[in-house]
Amino acid sequence: MSDIPQEAPEPTRADLAGQIADAAAELGIPLPAGAADRLAAYATSLWLWNERLNLTRHTDVARFVSRDVGDAAALLQHLARGERVLDVGTGGGVPGVIIAILRPDLRVELSDSVAKKARAVAEIVREAGLVLPVHAAPAQELVASRPAGAVRFDTLVARAVAPLPKLLRWFEPQADTFGRLLVIKGPRWEQERDEARVLRLGKRVSIRRIASWPLVGTDSESVLLEIRSAG
């Protein structure tokens, strides 16, 4: 009998789906029926693309579920049924793709101003068997092109895209043309808010902290900010 160690077989998508379901259950993140399998399909494609293009640092089940799925699940508590949502600077598709998987009732679109990232996430979405519009354009241009009517965005979502002052420079001038902006931030959010005030930003919008949740494995927390027109 050979003493040569045998390589462990590559986990199947069903294996990955089971691991995702177990990790979500351990963290108290509810997954609708079939979501674990769709998340596994998305993660498989995302991680393969990540070998060619830096799209995510969360390349194992534990971090994918605790950070990416966890953040998306926290956002969902603040989205009404049927909202039209735009993921600003989607990168590898977080949180937009996961939001769409967990809440099929939402009308989710993805945007990234970096064309190669937009092309990559479009392929990831296709490979995962999902149908989501992906725009290779700055989100502020998309918002400006839909100021009213049925195609107007109800909610913009952003995570790890830019500091608060930059987000305000992008979206404060057109705050009346979309419903609101939900931003996931870390413990420095108050410092970023103060920096924005020094720069005389934020006068036309209200900025509220509406939720927070622990950042798994650290002593910090993530916070959810809601930014909407003050008028």
Q: pLDDT by residue (tens digit) across 136-180?
A: 999 999 999 999 999 999 999 999 999 999 999 999 999 999 999
- Enter the tokens of residue 36: 């674990």
What pTM did the predictor assign? 0.93
pLDDT of residue 43: 97
- Enter the tokens of residue 124: 């990831």
Confidence band of 12 (pLDDT split at 50, 70, 90) = confident
Residue 226, H or E segment: strand 221-229
pLDDT of residue 229: 97
Tell me the C-alpha distance between 57 and 63, whole Å.
Answer: 9
Residue 58 has pLDDT above 70, yes or no: yes
pLDDT of residue 54: 87
pLDDT of residue 216: 82
Q: Which domains does the chain have, with CATH numbers?
A: 66-229 (3.40.50.150)
